[in-house]
Amino acid sequence: MRQVFPLDPIIHLSEETRPKLKPGQVLVRINPKSGEIVPNKSLWPIRGVRSYVVTALTRAEHVVESETPVIFLRGFRYGVTLPLIVKYETNCPEGNQEQIAKALSREETPQESLEGKIDEIVQRYATENREEFAGELGKILLEMAQHLRREIQTSTGLYFDPNIKLQHQNDLTTHRITNKTVRVRTKDGREREFKLQLSADLEVIDEYEAALRFPEREAMENQLLETVERFCETELETRDLFKKETEQSEQWERLQKYLDSVLSSDSRRVSRLHIKPDLDDLKIQPFQEIAFDYPHTPHLSMEKIIIRNKIQLELDDAGKYLALGKPDLKDWAEKTLTALFQRELFEWTYLNFLLDFDGLKAKIKAAMEDSAREIGYREKQLITEPDLKENQLRYPSTYRFDYEGLYTKQPDVQVNLQVSTVFRIEKLEQIKGLLDRNLDVVVAIEESIRREIELYLHKIDPETVYMRFYVAGGENDRSLKEELESRVKNHLTGKEYDATVESVTVVPLNTEITEHMEKILHKLQDFRLKIIPRDYDGMIEFAGQISVDSVNPTGWHRFRRCDFSLNDILAFAEKSLTTELSEWEGAGLDSSGPKHRNFLEEQANRAVQVPVASQYGVRVEIKNFRSLAREGNAEYAKLRDEERIKTIERRRKRLEKTGELEDIRLDKALEKARHGMDQLEKLHEADLQLIIATDKTEEAERQTLNTRRDALLSDIPDLEFREDELDGRKKEFDLNKFRKSVAKDSRPLLSEIQEERRKALPNSPSDTAPNDTGQSEVREHRPEKPVSGVILPKEENDQLPRKARQPGSAKGQIKMAPDFDAPLEEFQEE
């Protein structure tokens, strides 16, 4: 396989006589004996002709880069040779192919021919200019490169750009030695070896001389270290090795001059030298921080206090420390501080520690500095402080005080507050009266802040505390929060404490009242209720929303008990609203339109706000109050009957409390009345069925039902109570009013029967007859005989229509049978 050379892209030998050429390539045939070019069209073969393929490379990327083997220049002093390396770039200009092939055909390969020419030209130039090499080496090498370019281009036709440098050019610069370890002995302590750390820079004095005397780096470093060892052993004492850096300059300057004299033979000198002892090898700490607690019992006190100490030591004179035998630094610090405290604190009381310790700190610090210097160390920092909780007051600290049960203007309503403040009392002399061993100063401050707050809150009503704590408008147009914060700050910065206050924040804490407020306030609830107006044969359904807006300003004494829920308030409000609207006329409740709706909402709020405030101490508001629908008579009648039964029950209970009724008689009368009404209702339903039917054979059954109905009406007990039945007890109620109400409760059922019979009559053939127009006319239906009914008092009988009155009843009373054909309005109270 053919060997590849760097010049092959430009020129190479071809093993073929007639190789295939690429664009830009030329085949040049050379006779090696004569060195002449053999024409490619020659008909006669010539023995030993070499065929070269030469390629013209003109673009920059076709430049060939290479370097020659080391060229050794001989004939210099000390029998030294200068090793040179030539790096170059070359290519073949167009038209120079034959000249290049002819010039590089001397050796076996074009590569060998070119390198031979370079060596020849360099050696000849160095010989001719030997004396110039003693000057600046870099300049002579540059001139040599320029001469080499001209010679190669002229002799070969190649483009040629050389760069010539020494083989060890990079080593002819400043040589840096870093942290080299050297073990030395001193002239006064040869039995002991010390480890030193050495760093130095060795710069070149003359590049040409350095090149001629070029040593290996390792040999040069070893020579340096040996020189240092020899210098320490003959010139230095042990203490010289461990002097402070500021005191070492003289001895190291002497060493540096000694090293320069040794290195000058290699054209070198020391530009920087740094030597320090290896303290780790000596087990010496260059820096140490020591913490030490000193317990002390103050004069006239039974309890000890702790003085916290922390000292930082930095090595200053290792020689002095070594000369003293390397004492243990922690032990030294503890003993030194203990001796100082024992001497200075002998008669100190607890109050002295709080007020006078700052002055003692300076004295302790100065004494420790002197003592540390004696052992070869320097005191970098000393902290000494008695561990007293009162000392914390000197520094800005955050304090948080929770106050419970703070009285307001209304004593039975209290509030909880939290005060957070950042302050410091720099001069404890200001609170000298509080600095007692048995007194907690922070607690005393906390209690004084409480007194300041309570003094102000006694003038503030609960409404402001709970409902307007963050709302401006109080004194100085500030909120209660801002006012309290200002008062707390003024209290701390006043003469009593003279504190520096950074911040004060007052916020309310939860109480049973705030938790209760959270449960019931501002929660909008939907509600519905059904109202039976007093003059309306039907029910009206209403809907709306209700919420508890706030605590009533005069209701805090009630609200503070927190013994009710939101549901209790809503139920009570609905009950109050139902009671109020039941007294209205139906026409007023059943209207519609925005104006009337607003009017209803306003009246609804009036109906509930006062009772709710009185009952629970809160203010409620009804919104979106409106009527939804009117329901039919059947539901109305059922509810009305039930309501009247309930009314009778309520009145019975009221009479029980006053002692004006006999419970047994009234219970029996009510039970018998209920039973009779139930039976009458059943007969009424059966009668309706018979009326609807058209069969005349059922007329007898209807007569039978009427007879039973009359008997039941006669059998319903009279609920009137006469004065002679009250056992001579003094009446505490209006008897006539009660009689009227009983009569009123008895009539509606009969009126309902009358109304339903009227509705049913048109469906009965027996009750219709043709009129003048030929249409059927509804005939009036009357019972065959009157039925005994409710006994009415005289006053009410006089108010009835004339045709309904029955004169002749004993004691101004009448027994009246209901007339089913009479209008219902005639039986209602005016």
Any idea what DSSP says for residue 783? -
Q: How confident is the model at residue 290 (pLDDT cuts 50, 70, 90)?
A: very high
pLDDT value of residue 648: 72
Q: How confident is the model at residue 487 (pLDDT cuts 50, 70, 90)?
A: very high
pLDDT value of residue 732: 42
Report whether pLDDT(815) > 60. Answer: no
**Chain mean pLDDT for the chain:** 75
Average pLDDT over residues 146-150: 91
Cα dihedral: 204, 205, 208, 210 (round 10) = -50
Q: How confident is the model at residue 336 (pLDDT cuts 50, 70, 90)?
A: very high
pLDDT value of residue 699: 61
If one compares 559 and 605, the residue with the highest pLDDT of the two is: 605
pLDDT value of residue 689: 62
The overall longest dimension of the chain from CA atoms, in Å, is 182
Which range is least confidently modeled, 329-333, 641-645, 647-651? Answer: 641-645
If one compares 601 and 771, the residue with the highest pLDDT of the two is: 601
Residue with tokens 């209807």: 702
Which range is least confidently modeled, 20-34, 580-594, 600-614, 769-783? Answer: 769-783
Report whether pLDDT(462) > 50. Answer: yes
Query: What CA–CA distances, in Å, run from 516 to 330, 526, 558, 580, 615?
Result: 63, 21, 13, 29, 16
pLDDT value of residue 624: 85
pLDDT value of residue 447: 93
Q: What are phi and psi of 75, to 5 degrees?
A: 90, 15
Which range is least confidently modeled, 304-313, 352-361, 378-387? Answer: 352-361
Report whether pLDDT(45) > 90. Answer: no
Q: Which residue type occupies 122?
A: V
Report whether pLDDT(218) > 70. Answer: yes
pLDDT value of residue 613: 87
Average pLDDT over residues 759-766: 44
- For residues 279 and 314, the answer to whether their CB atoms sit within 8 Å is no
Q: Which residue type occupies 27?
A: L
409 Cβ neighbours under 8 A, 6+ residues apart: 457, 458, 459, 460, 461, 462
Q: Which residue type occupies 648?
A: I
Which range is least confidently modeled, 93-102, 336-345, 539-548, 641-650? Answer: 641-650
Report whether pLDDT(705) > 80. Answer: no
Residue with tokens 């070149």: 204
Question: Using CA atoms, how far apart are residues 326 and 280, in angstroms rounded to an integer?
Answer: 13
Q: Which residue type occupies 688?
A: L
Q: Which residue type occupies 246?
A: T
Structure-token pair, residue 293: 């607690």
pLDDT value of residue 780: 41
Three-state DSSP string of 105-134:
CCCCCHHHHHHHHHHHHHHHHHHHCHHHHH
Report whether pLDDT(731) > 70. Answer: no
Report whether pLDDT(776) > 70. Answer: no
Q: What are the structural domains, with CATH classification, of the chain?
A: 11-167 (3.30.479.30), 171-282 (3.30.479.30), 287-387 (3.30.479.30), 391-509 (3.30.479.30), 516-631 (3.30.479.30), 639-827 (no CATH)
Average pLDDT over residues 674-691: 67
Highest mean pLDDT among 181-190, 596-605, 610-619, 791-800: 610-619
